[in-house]
Structure 1
Amino acid sequence: MGCDASILLDSLPGLPSEKESIPNLSLRGFGTIDLVKAKLEQACPGVVSCADILALVARDVVVLTHGPYWDVPTGRRDGMSSVKDDALNNLPPPFFDATRNLYQFFIPKGLDAKDQVVLLGGHTLGTSHCSSFSDRLYNFSGTLMPDPSLDRQYVPRLKTKCAPGDTRTLVEMDPGSFRTFDASYYRVVAKGRALFTSDETLMLDPFARDYVLRQAAVAAEGAYPAEFFADFAASMVKMGNMQVLTGEHGQVRRRCAAVNQMYM
């Protein structure tokens, strides 16, 4: 599982793809990627891969929400398989401990502690299903109590949005600013109001804590987050180079949802 657009492939009979994995069930925008791909195929068939489209769209979404710009290296080719369990084995879940699982999810991919705290800052955009953090509200570590690291005043507010067993409701990860790319999510983490254990445990690591508090102070002042923006751009380029297929490896899919052989 790398930057080969495997997430875009549909399942085959008896072979569920990454789209069906629990961490990916909230993903949206597949239709938008398909529209972009169709336009590119009309203009220059067989040239621009779905993997490159994803990397470019990720950058453009950040830019359009007032975040940083970065040059995206292109030339990726698309993978030819997608396995449901790969997502579970490679994507850090919302309940992972950032101080303990760095060497499980980030180091093997060529990312380091700084990339971890920077890339988690991307949670400034978007929403999460209640099911991704409801245990922190109702039964943390089997205690039938809320996670003590969550701000006590914030817990009742989250409970009004997320009833036990709720799998449908979406909650803003950066309340009031979830459509703007900025450093305000670090303020959320510093206040003990991060939805995910993965974000909250950043405060337990000295390096990550210093970074969080520094960016939270910038956000509180309403200043331009130059350090975070530069770091995020660098980490995204780094992540975009993970396990890339080039040369004779993979293919340039004609449709992002299926490998080319199906249509030959």
Structure 2
Amino acid sequence: MACESSSAKPAFFLSLLCFLLGMASAQLSGTFYSSSCPSALSTIKSAVSSAVSSEARMGASLLRLHFHDCFVNGCDGSILLDDTANFTGEKNAAPNANSVRGFDVIDTIKSQLESKCPGVVSCADIVAVAARDSVVALGGSSWTVLLGRRDSTTASQSAANANIPAPTLSLSGLISAFSNKGFTAKEMVALSGSHTIGQARCTVFRARLYNENNINATFATSLKASCPSSGGDNNLSPLDTTSPTSFDNAYFKNLQIQKGLLHSDQQLFSGGSTDAQVNAYSGNAATFKTDFANAMVKMGNLSPLTGSNGQIRKNCRRVN
């Protein structure tokens, strides 16, 4: 149906109809590949389960990959693009360089899907589903991943530097960074709970260890052994020292006793407006997992490319 004005259709109602049609065309679907590639979801799940079984940390890495993709111009697979002589991607942006990982797992999944249903499943969708399957593999709640994203043909290192929340942010900075993407402070706290799995490099939390007072003294001392005041930048420590490979609510319990690894972690429980939410999640793991799953659905819907926008990359690392 063409969106053209006519005497029989008042301009207002025609504009409204065109708007609604545009919204419909941009909607994702939980059954997008049910006919075109019926084995897509099972293929991704199997590959993720294998990767996480081999290295539990990979679950956190794949989850983070989705987050760092979606916060930069939407969930479009832009983070997967390699730099070339004529193209600057997002992999070497400050929040990603020597930090974001899991690209090989995505490559493996893409290769498997291309052999089963060539040119059908987007890299952006693979990243979104892999994030969900990683959380489930480590004990978190599942959610329906809405599908039908296309892959971008561009990337933005500057947007990655500007939009991905830094571990040095204050509480107000965190709230603002997530609000800019449409998230409430409660959803921000829930999504921060992803730090119940994974590890961080010494260079990211060194300043907190040696300069901040709102940190458990015994906790800080134990960390300094592997994160000296100079050197050892890439030495790793778990974001959740209690159960680092289990998707539970221990992260929030650690914040209550000043055992947040990152400055931004402890900001969630520092006498501010989010203390009550941390307490709520600390006392109820089921509520946290449900709220996290709901927030992930919302994150996966950040400005997805659909329809004729973008492409289905044959190789996730480069445009067709």
What TM-score comes out, normalization by structure 2 length? 0.74
* 1:41 correspondence with 2:101: no
SS in 2 for 1:23: coil
Give 1:222's aligned residue.
Answer: none
Aligned to 1:115: 187
Task: Tell me by how many angstroms 1:36 deviates.
Answer: 0.4
Question: 2:220 maps to which residue?
Answer: 155
Note the C-alpha offset of 1:26.
1.4
Q: Secondary structure at the match of 2:200?
A: strand
Secondary structure at the aligned position of 1:109 is classed as: coil
- The 3 A distance-change label for structure 1 pair 134 and 4 is same
Could you say which structure has the larger radius of gyration? 2
Going from structure 1 to structure 2, the CA distance change for 1:234 and 1:205 (only over 3 Å counts) comes to: farther
- 1:248 aligns with 308
Does the alignment pair 1:92 with 2:165? yes
Residue number in structure 1 paired with 2:209:
137
Say if 1:123 and 1:173, in contact at 8 Å, map to a contact too.
yes
Q: RCO greater where, 1 or 2, for CA within 8 Å and sep 6 or more?
A: 1
Q: Residue 208 of structure 2 aligns to which amino acid in structure 1?
A: R
1:151-206 Cα deviation digits (max 9, x unpaired): 12221111111012321101000114111100111011111111112111112465
Deviation readout 1:36-64 (Å, 9 max, x if unpaired): 00111111111110000000000000000
CA distance in 2, matches of 1:205, 1:249: 45
After the TM superposition, which of the residue ranges 247-256 and 163-172 deviates more from structure 2?
A: 163-172
Q: 1:98·1:199 contact (CA, 8 Å) conserved in 2?
A: no
Whether contact under 8 Å (2:242, 2:250) holds in the other structure is: no
Work out the CA distance in 1 between the residues paired with 2:152 and 2:99: 22
Deviation of the 1:207 alpha carbon: 4.5
The residue number in structure 1 matching 2:235 is 169
SS in 1 for 2:95: helix
Q: CA RMSD in A?
A: 1.4
Residue type of the alignment partner of 2:299: M
Q: How does 1:197-212 map to 2 (within 5 A)?
A: 197-204=263-270, 206-212=272-278
Count of residue correspondences: 246
Q: Which amino acid aligns with 1:198?
A: S
User: Between the two proteins, what is the percent identity of the paired residues?
Assistant: 40
| In 1, Cα distance between equivalents of 2:287 and 2:203 | 33
Counterpart contact for 1:99–1:204, Cα < 8 Å: no
Pair 101,172 (structure 1): closer, same or farther in 2 beyond 3 Å: closer
Partner of 2:281: 215
Unaligned runs of 5+ in 1: 139-145, 219-224
**Which blocks of at least 5 consecutive residues in structure 2 are unaligned?**
1-72
**Within 2, Cα distance between the matches of 1:99 and 1:202?**
10
Q: Contact (CA 8 Å) 2:90, 2:156: kept in 1 or not?
A: yes
Question: Which amino acid counterpart does residue 188 of structure 2 have in structure 1?
Answer: Q
Retained in 1: the 8 A contact 2:76–2:150? Answer: yes
- Deviation, 1:231, is 0.2
Q: Please give the alpha-carbon distance, in whole angstroms, between the structure 2 residues aligned to 1:15 and 1:41.
A: 25
CA distance in 1, matches of 2:272, 2:157: 35
Distance 1:86 1:184, change over 3 A: same
Structure 2 Cα separation of the partners of residues 121 and 149 of structure 1: 19
Task: Give 2:44's aligned residue.
Answer: none
